[in-house]
């Protein structure tokens, strides 16, 4: 990857500017957005290009140049209109109408090779009508963190937006009480949709059921096409959104991920995870773990994520009730826990090496696993990685052999919970044919990578960048994440 300032460049040869952009959202009219411009930056250093996404856009990574990224996604030449979306939202339980795209915009919408419509959204491109006195910029560290989060979650099986590019802009930013300015960046996020729960909440606030219906029809037409011809498409849409969100939060919980700011303006109408600010992966199993320093009362702590997402879906019923019967929405929402438990159990079983187990064994094994992780406070991710690393066919011989070569678990007799866990795991192994041992080992390896984005890992990556402008650890970490090592 060449990380250099781009000289003069001929726009017509840029593959990003030659994509077939669609005006799906733009066609709704300016009740939903404002046209804006992009900041002009003093410098453009391409720090990250996600070549893994290019084939989905029909582009060959070997043909796309660094300069193409910079012209399209750093200098923002050749694309209009750029749309800052309007939305409101409940932030820490309080309704806030002073929201909207305050440091980014919708760059464009593209139909990918899978037939789905994707949005290119910017972050760090300067002031908009919704910046609320802010500068509309993104720190370089914030860009680095989001690139890492999106790639890590994607490779952990979480439905997430991803970063297409990140460019350092050379603009010094002053943040908080820092004695000197920090570096800045601009990022392109590729997501399934730019529309949020808060987009509908804003329309409800202004008492515009006509605009709500128009937007809902658009959402179903573009993102729930299989429902578009159904007579009861509106309630079916809400029911499917409930399922998508329940499964998404189950994916976070199994991955040990704490989003940190689950305001309704950070909830996608397609049930996709996006906008990673002060997120964190839990070091140990602690339902009270708080990722954001400003979450003083732990509203968005790790263990609260399912109930908060349920609440956000419940609050979405207010704007949607102008179109959808509220009783039918409430009935659909009652299935949230069912969807959540099914997805969470399935994902946790895979982390334990199994694709499927009978219900009693599933409940027993998961309960004992969580009880042990909570009691021992061994590393959450380390425990599952050690299972993968030390797994052996000898575990079938007797319970005492289960994880006996790992030094992170207690010796026999030191923990009744762990001893019972070993007994049950040994029993389950022997319920399978011995030929399944290799399959269990592979399942453990696939779902429990060694590389985890714990805070010290991220800080060490940033320290190399901040102090030495050394990006090699950053690229090596991404390579390890993408190869699931």
Catalytic positions, written as ranges = 265
Cα 128 to Cα 113: distance, rounded to the nearest angstrom: 32
Q: How far apart are the first and last CA of the chain?
A: 22
Question: By C-alpha distance, which of 436, 437, 360 is closest to 401?
Answer: 437
Instruction: Please tell me the distance from the alpha carbon of residue 465 to that of residue 168, in angstroms, as a whole number.
Output: 12
CB-neighbour burial class of residue 287 (10 A; exposed 0-12, middle 13-18, buried 19+):
middle
Q: How many CB atoms lie within 10 A of CB 63?
A: 9
Q: Are 106 and 119 in contact (CB under 8 A)?
A: yes
CA dihedral defined by 241, 244, 247, 252, rounded to 10 degrees? -100
Query: 436, 466, 425: which is closest to 139 by C-alpha?
Result: 466
258 bridge partner residues: 280
- The answer to whether 332 touches 324, Cβ cutoff 8 Å, is no
Return d(Cα 162, Cα 118) in angstroms, integer.
Answer: 11
Q: Please tell me the total number of residues recorded for the chain in this structure.
A: 485
DSSP secondary structure string, 78-93?
Answer: S---EEEEP--EEETT
**CB distance 430 to 401 below 8 Å:** no
Structure-token pair, residue 484: 């699931």
Maximum separation of any 2 CA atoms in the chain, in Å: 71
Radius of gyration of the chain (CA): 24
C-alpha–C-alpha distance, residues 133 and 127, integer Å: 9
Place of tokens 């005006």: 23
CB of 33 closer than 8 Å to CB of 86: yes
CA atoms within 13 A on the CB side of 73: 31
**How far from the centroid of its chain's Cα atoms is residue 130's Cα?**
24
Distance separating alpha carbons of residues 66 and 433, to the nearest angstrom = 52
């Amino acid at each position: 990857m060449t990380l250099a300032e781009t000289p003069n460049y001929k726009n017509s040869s840029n593959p990003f500017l030659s994509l077939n952009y669609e005006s799906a959202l733009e066609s709704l009219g300016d009740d939903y957005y404002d046209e804006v411009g992009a900041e002009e930056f003093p410098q453009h250093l391409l720090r990250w290009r996600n070549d893994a996404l290019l084939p989905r856009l029909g582009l060959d990574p070997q043909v796309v140049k660094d300069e193409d990224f910079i012209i399209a996604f750093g200098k923002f030449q050749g694309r209009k209109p750029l749309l800052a979306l309007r939305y409101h939202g409940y932030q820490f339980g309080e309704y806030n109408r002073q929201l909207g795209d305050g440091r980014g915009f919708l760059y464009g919408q593209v139909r990918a090779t899978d037939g789905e419509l994707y949005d290119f959204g910017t972050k760090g491109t300067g002031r908009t009508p919704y910046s609320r006195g802010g500068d509309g910029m993104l720190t370089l560290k914030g860009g680095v963190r989001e690139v890492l989060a999106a790639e890590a979650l994607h490779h952990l099986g979480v439905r997430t937006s991803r970063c297409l590019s990140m460019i350092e802009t050379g603009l010094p930013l002053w943040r908080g009480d820092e004695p000197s300015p920090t570096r800045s960046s601009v990022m392109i996020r590729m997501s399934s949709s730019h529309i949020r729960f808060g987009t509908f909440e804003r329309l409800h606030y202004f008492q515009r059921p006509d605009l709500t219906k128009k937007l809902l029809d658009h959402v179903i037409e573009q993102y729930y096409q299989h429902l578009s011809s159904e007579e009861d498409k509106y309630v079916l849409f809400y029911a499917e959104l409930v399922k998508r969100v329940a499964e998404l939060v189950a994916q976070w919980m199994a991955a040990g991920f704490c989003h940190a700011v689950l305001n309704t303006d950070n909830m996608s109408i397609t049930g996709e995870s996006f906008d990673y600010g002060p997120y964190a992966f839990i070091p140990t199993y602690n339902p009270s773990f708080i990722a954001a320093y400003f979450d003083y009362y732990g509203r968005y702590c790790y263990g609260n994520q399912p109930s908060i997402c349920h609440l956000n879906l419940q609050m979405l019923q207010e704007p949607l009730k102008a179109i959808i019967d509220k009783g039918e929405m409430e009935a659909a929402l009652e299935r949230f826990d069912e969807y959540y438990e099914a997805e969470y159990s399935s994902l946790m079983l895979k982390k334990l090496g199994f694709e499927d187990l009978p219900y009693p064994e599933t409940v027993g094994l998961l309960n004992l696993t969580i009880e042990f992780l909570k009691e021992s406070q061994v590393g959450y991710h380390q425990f599952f990685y050690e299972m993968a690393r030390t797994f052996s066919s000898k575990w079938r011989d007797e319970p005492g052999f289960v994880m006996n070569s790992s030094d992170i678990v207690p010796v026999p007799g030191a923990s009744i919970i762990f001893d019972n866990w070993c007994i049950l795991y040994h029993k389950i192994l022997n319920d399978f044919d011995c030929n399944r041992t290799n399959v269990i080992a592979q399942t453990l390896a696939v779902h429990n990578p060694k590389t985890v984005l714990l805070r010290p890992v991220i800080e060490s990556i940033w320290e190399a960048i901040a102090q030495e402008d050394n990006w090699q650890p950053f690229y090596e970490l991404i390579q390890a994440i993408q190869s699931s090592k």
